[in-house]
Amino acid sequence: MAAAGPRRSVRGAVCLHLLLTLVIFSHAGEACKKVILNVPSKLEADKIIGRVNLEECFRSADLIRSSDPDFRVLNDGSVYTARAVVLSDKKRSFTIWLSDKRKQTQKEVTVLLEHQKKVSKTRHTRETVLRRAKRRWAPIPCSMQENSLGPFPLFLQQVESDAAQNYTVFYSISGRGVDQEPLNLFYIERDTGNLFCTQPVDREEYDVFDLIAYASTADGYSADLPLPLPIRVEDENDNHPVFTEAIYNFEVLESSRPGTTVGVVCATDRDEPDTMHTRLKYSILQQTPRSPGLFSVHPSTGVITTVSHYLDREVVDKYSLIMKVQDMDGQFFGLIGTSTCIITVTDSNDNAPTFRQNAYEAFVEENAFNVEILRIPIEDKDLINTANWRVNFTILKGNENGHFKISTDKETNEGVLCVVKPLNYEENRQVNLEIGVNNEAPFARDIPRVTALNRALVTVHVRDLDEGPECTPAAQYVRIKENLAVGSKINGYKAYDPENRNGNGLRYKKLHDPKGWITIDEISGSIITSKILDREVETPKNELYNITVLAIDKDDRSCTGTLAVNIEDVNDNPPEILQEYVVICKPKMGYTDILAVDPDEPVHGAPFYFSLPNTSPEISRLWSLTKVNDTAARLSYQKNAGFQEYTIPITVKDRAGQAATKLLRVNLCECTHPTQCRATSRSAGVILGKWAILAILLGIALLFSVLLTLVCGVFGATKGKRFPEDLAQQNLIISNTEAPGDDRVCSANGFMTQTANNSSQGFCGTMGSGMKNGGQETIEMMKGGNQTLESCRGAGHHHTLDSCRGGHTEVDNCRYTYSEWHSFTQPRLGEESIRGHTG
């Protein structure tokens, strides 16, 4: 506090002698008439001398005036000296006028200033004590002014015990400021009870001292209980308000409306709270740049707001404010603190991008694409490399065919115009484009986004080139009926020279033909069928047959095109029944459905017509057909149909009359599920195919040749000799033939052979029954001796062996009939036939 300067010291010296005593009468009416203030004879300027309770006198007063210009009164009733005053008389008075303008009423308060009375330091006689006002041994309110400059020791008050009327008492004190830090700040006179302060006190360090006073007799007897003695330090406005920050940094958008909050400044004051010393008021001392004034601050809250809409970052992007805060509610004699406030104006999109010129020209060669043809610069005053500065270009007109694309160079913010689809000089020698531009960020001001300044015209000139042939359109279509005669000529692919718009001088070649069905005339480009075109061969059938054609000009420049051939269907395929073999479980299944398909187009297909052609009376009697839908019929049997496999011819006809008959094998089986009849179907009679019949004949011929060779060799070697009896047991022939021929002979040796001229000698034996043994059929051999061979004859196909005569022994009849042989071989022939069909 000593650093406040000489002026502060002088002011404080005078204030050391101020003792404020505010006398308020018991009735409110009297309080409005007179107030007594005890003051020293010399008063320093701008010093508080006391307070008057104005609210009790006139609560609604809104105008306060003093009749004496040497004194001024604040709203809270504080009375200050306007200049230095010396009181020559014992007393001086002035009047405070209180007015209520709304109610048109006025009241007066009289303030009487009296000199401070001196208090004697010694007590000479008991009578002197009795003349003074009697004080009881009780807490006595006491205060002192902070930063007092003396003279020290400074008298504060006198403490007196009631026991002093009867005894001689001695006074003492203790507590902070006496025997606690700060030591020896206070002392009391032992005999008189006068309390003194020895040095100035800073209220911000010690705002109150709680002392304890004691009264005791000479012999140490406590005349009274210890007396609490609080000493309050009255605040002096000795601390400047201080901002919480030396430099404040705020930002405000340039397009902000008036009244937008920029930021809040705040200050603190160490003086006593809730007094005029800490009632702060904020203001702006200076703005840089100075004009115009764009900001204001709320005097009480410190909130800074905008007061104008002229914030423009492109003109001024930063403002500096010197902020002032003053205590005493901003009175001119209040203490001041300052701070700097830096306000940065942030960018908003308040400037539309503009073209540097209204029209541009660009050149591009025909057929060029993915090339840059023009860069369009843009001017925008907003902050660089922000969304307010970056732009988007749009082609507004002229790009209906999609030949152009415009993008933005992120580094330079230029528009880059490119050709992305080739241009044809013969079609468009010049293209006019209208280009528009706007920012990435929305515009901040209420003006149209597209004006005359953000549109530009671009004229693109197409340069002619001597170019090769053009295959346009890339795919050309032609229709050809299927089954067209070989050598038929049809119009083919046509290319042209863009310079003369015709195809003269062009040559054509075939690059790709999936089936090799056509050839191309090199001069005219016409196509010639080299094979029969079958629509049903193509997969899928409904797709086009594509031929790739190469067109070449005289300079060997070329282009390629596609000739899409639509093969028109003709009714060249009858419907076909899908099933080959079906099983019907009787009696669980009463019918089976027959399905048919036609590879031709639907116009030549369904509805189909199913029928049983002229068949055997048995089939007609036992089986019938009924329609299910356009592509299916139901085959039903009569109840008296026997369990067996039937071969049923079924004719199916399409809507155009194309018909086909198919022999359907139907196994009428006693079962609950068709899979149970598969084993039976293998052993049932079958119709042999041509390959199966050929295989059977070749097998029979091979077997007979082997047997004939063997018989002849044995006969020559054993003529006139007898074979051992166990010869038959030593010869076992394995045969895979299906059946023997019509004529057989039996030898005693067990071999069977066929003779064309009924030869009289051979080996006699019988053919064993067909037995399965690991999939092979064996022939059982018989013992025989040296015997003569006779023919074994029978009736029809069922031959039996009557007897075998000769030698010493008769041979048994052939033990197996042809029917047994047939039942053995027939299923195997059926399997062979099925393999032939599937093969």
Cα dihedral 198, 202, 205, 211 sign: positive
| Beta-strand pair 336-346/154-158 | unpaired
Distance (Å, rounded) from C-alpha 807 to C-alpha 185? 172
Average pLDDT of the chain to the nearest whole number = 76
With beta carbons less than 8 A apart as the criterion, state whether 627 and 593 touch: no
Distance CA 437, CA 378 (A): 9
Alpha-carbon distances of 250 from 299, 342, 346, 654, rounded to whole Å: 18, 6, 10, 91
Q: Give the three-state DSSP class for 376.
A: strand
Mean pLDDT of 749-761: 36
Q: Read off the pLDDT band of 590 (50, 70, 90).
A: confident
Query: pLDDT grade, residue 138 (50/70/90)?
Result: low
Q: Which has more confidence, 514 or 457? A: 457
**What are φ and ψ of residue 165, in 5° steps?**
-75, -25
Of 588, 510, 587, which is closest to residue 552 (Cα–Cα)?
Answer: 510
pLDDT of residue 535 exceeding 60, the answer is yes
| Helix H or strand E encompassing 154 | strand 154-158
What distance lies between CA 157 and its chain's CA centroid? 83
Report how far residue 803's alpha carbon sits from residue 547's, in angstroms, rounded to the nearest whole number: 79
Residues 6 or more apart in contact with residue 579 via CB below 8 angstroms: 594, 595, 664
pLDDT at 689: 56
pLDDT of residue 715: 61
Neighbours of 570 (CB within 10 A): 15
For 540-590, give the DSSP string. STTS-EEEEEEEE-TTS-EEEEEEEEEEE--S----EES-SEEEEEETT--
pLDDT at 772 over 70: no
**Cα 116 to Cα 43: distance, rounded to the nearest angstrom:** 12
Q: Which of 162-166, 346-350, 701-705, 822-826 has the lowest mean pLDDT?
A: 822-826
Q: Which residues contact 412 (CB under 8 A, 6 or more apart)?
A: 375, 377
Q: Using 50, 70 and 90 to split pLDDT, how confident is the model at 43?
A: confident
What is the per-residue pLDDT for 808? 38
Residue pair 623/568 in contact (Cβ under 8 Å)? The answer is no
Q: How many helices (H) and strands (E) does the chain have?
A: 8, 54
The predicted-structure confidence for 465-491, as pLDDT tens digits, reads as follows: 877 788 888 888 888 877 777 888 888
Q: Which of 269, 266, 243 is nearest to 334 (CA)?
A: 269
Contacts of 210 (CB under 8 A, 6+ apart): 175, 176, 228, 229, 230, 231
- Enter the DSSP assignment of 443: P
Query: Which domains, ranges and CATH numbers included, belong to the chain?
Result: 35-115 (2.60.40.60), 143-234 (2.60.40.60), 242-346 (2.60.40.60), 354-444+452-463 (2.60.40.60), 475-568 (2.60.40.60), 576-675 (2.60.40.60)
Using DSSP's 3-state secondary structure scheme, residue 498 falls into coil
- The average pLDDT across 31-45 equals 77
Beta bridge partners of 103: none
What does the buried/exposed string (b/e) look like for 190-229 if buried means 16 or more CB atoms within 10 Å of the residue's CB? eebbbbbbeebbbbbebeebebebbbbeeeeeebbeebeb
Tell me the pairing of strands 142-145 and 227-234.
parallel
Helix H or strand E segment including 145: strand 142-145
Q: List the structure tokens of 55.
A: 């609210």
Q: How far apart are CA 280 and CA 762, in angstroms?
A: 151
pLDDT at 493 over 70: yes
Peptide bond into 473 cis (omega under 30): yes
Confidence of residue 241 (pLDDT cuts 50, 70, 90): very high
Cα dihedral sign for 752, 753, 754, 760? negative
747 in Cβ contact with 789 (< 8 Å): yes
Chain segment 12-31, per-residue pLDDT in tens:
333 333 333 333 323 333 34
pLDDT average, residue stretch 811-828: 45
Interior/surface letters 40-67, b for 16+ CB within 10 angstroms, e for the rest: beebbebbbbbbbebeebbeebeebebe
Per-residue DSSP letter, 716: H
Phi, psi of 659 (to 5 degrees): -135, 160
Task: Name the residue with higher pLDDT: 540 or 276.
Answer: 276
Inter-residue contact 767 to 750 (CB < 8 Å): no
Under 8 Å between Cβ of 255 and 266: no
798 or 382, higher pLDDT: 382
| pLDDT class of 359 with cuts at 50, 70, 90 | very high
Identify residue 352 by its one-letter amino acid code. Answer: A
Residue 436: the pLDDT is 93
User: How is residue 164 written in tokens?
Assistant: 């002093």
Q: Is the pLDDT of residue 118 over 50?
A: no
Neighbours of 445 (CB within 10 A): 10
**What average pLDDT does the segment 175-182 reach?**
92
Q: CA 442, 443, 446: angle at the middle one, nearest 5?
A: 135
pLDDT above 70 for 56: yes
pLDDT tier for residue 321 given thresholds of 50, 70 and 90: very high
Pairing of strands 644-653, 609-611: antiparallel
Cα 820 to Cα 777: distance, rounded to the nearest angstrom: 13
pLDDT attached to residue 670: 86
For the CA atoms of 187, 189, 194, 199, the dihedral, rounded to the nearest 10 degrees, stands at: -30
Which residue in 195, 212, 115, 215 sits closest to 153, CA to CA? 195
Indicate whether 338 pLDDT > 50.
yes
Classify residue 146 as exposed, middle or buried by CB count within 10 Å of its CB (0-12, 13-18, 19+).
buried
List of residues 6+ apart from 23 with CB closer than 8 A:
35, 36
Nearest-5° angle of CA 261, CA 267, CA 268?
A: 150
pLDDT > 70? residue 119: no
Measured between alpha carbons, how far is 33 from 54 in angstroms, rounded to an integer? 11
CA 580 to centroid of chain Cα atoms: 58
**Selection from 444, 454, 343, 449 nearest residue 388 by Cα:** 444
Provide the β-strand partners of residue 407: 416
pLDDT at 266 over 60: yes
In this predicted model, which residue has the larger pLDDT, 159 or 15? 159
Contact 691, 838 (CB under 8 A): no
pLDDT attached to residue 47: 81
> What confidence score (pLDDT) does residue 716 get?
57
User: Which comes out higher in pLDDT, residue 722 or 791?
Assistant: 722
Please state, in angstroms and rounded to a whole number, the distance separating the CA atoms of residues 256 and 445.
11
- Is residue 208 pLDDT above 80, yes or no? yes
CA–CA gap between residue 466 and residue 498 (Å, rounded): 9
Most confident of 100-104, 137-141, 149-153, 211-215: 211-215
Average pLDDT value for residue range 200-210: 92
Q: Worst-scoring range by mean pLDDT, 10-19, 91-100, 368-377, 681-690?
A: 10-19
Instruction: Give the Å distances, CA to CA, from 170 to 213, 221, 225, 630.
Output: 11, 10, 13, 139
**Weakest-pLDDT range from 568-577, 608-617, 683-692, 829-838:** 829-838
Q: Between helices 690-717 and 818-838, what is the axis angle to 10°? A: 130
Give me the sign of the Cα torsion angle 124, 126, 129, 131: negative
